[in-house]
Amino acid sequence: MEEVLERQEREITERRRRRAASKRVQRELDQLIVMAVGLLDEENQSSRGSHEGCAPNVDRHGHSRGKNLMEDYFIPTSLYSDRNCVDVLGLLPEQKFTAAIRMLAYGASADQVDEIAWMGKSTALECLVRFCDAIETLYTRDYLRRPMPRDMQRLLQKAEARGFPGMIGSINCMHWQWKNCPTVWQGDYGNRKGQKSIILEAVAGFDTWVWHAFFGVAGSQNDLNVLGQSPVFNDVLKGEAPQITYQVNNTVYQTGYYLADGIYPRWTTFVKTLPHP
């Protein structure tokens, strides 16, 4: 009986020691992650403040809401937030972030992430959805939005100072390689180089501020096919485009234009500075 009691006491002591050690490690990890998020937030705010007019109408409530979405799920707010009913430590923030970023960066499926992050398919998909929602809430109002009048004025002034009056951005498409493209889709997503890819059309300013992105077109298409599906000129078709007046070679123009390469059509909204890129 004494041996049984001693063994139970040793087991209880060992469990308490492990629990205290895991709490200490988790507390240190929480502090590091909170510090990293804080530093990243300060860096983003300072960069936005250093670019005058880059984001004049940022939704601060939306930014806080996105930060809360990130912290509530990925960053434990207490020592017991990631523990189940039997006080066993659950998934770490590194596992959740790794699962989400790996699926986004490599096109991996939820089942493939299980080998790296040791989590089930449903949990990996939940991590991906929550991560994307938080990122969208955090950064959509800063970047993926139409330029406001103040933004447009800043873009035009900078372009005119560089010798391109009336230029509002550069437009181009890039192929995002899809390594794990399903076999049944490889015919549609195979590009001219024999790679499987997805096309991204983007418009960026002089400071690489991307304010238009159209993603998801199959890699077998080209820039003209993407342009026919893209909403980049929807405001022009609706008559809601901003009035931009400038003069070149004694000719007055009323619409802005994009810098493009030689594949784009000969429209007044395109100026081809690189005919043979």
What's the confidence (pLDDT) of residue 199? 92
Q: Which of 110-124, 153-167, 214-228 has the lowest mean pLDDT?
A: 110-124
What's the confidence (pLDDT) of residue 267? 87
Take residue 10 and report the two structure tokens written for it. 């040793």
Pick the closest to residue 168 from 147, 138, 194 (CA basis). 147
What is the residue type of 64? Answer: S
- Tell me the average pLDDT across 96-125: 80
d(CA 238, CA 22): 60
Higher pLDDT, 61 or 181: 181
Contact 218, 186 (CB under 8 A): no
Task: Show me where the domains of the chain are located.
Answer: 2-139, 149-274
* pLDDT single digits (tens) 259-273: 998 889 888 888 887
Count of other CB atoms within 10 angstroms of residue 244: 18
* pLDDT single digits (tens) 190-236: 888 888 999 999 998 888 888 888 888 999 998 998 998 998 888 88
Pick the closest to residue 180 from 168, 191, 196, 192 (CA basis). 196
Phi-psi region of 118 (alpha: psi -120 to 50; beta: other; left: phi over 0): left
What is the band of 251 on the pLDDT scale with cuts at 50, 70, 90? confident
* pLDDT single digits (tens) 201-214: 999 888 888 888 88
pTM: 0.58
Count of other CB atoms within 10 angstroms of residue 156: 20
User: Residue 82 pLDDT more than 70?
Assistant: no
Which helix (H) or strand (E) element contains residue 56?
A: none
Contact 195, 218 (CB under 8 A): no
d(CA 55, CA 44): 11
User: Residue 178 pLDDT more than 60?
Assistant: yes
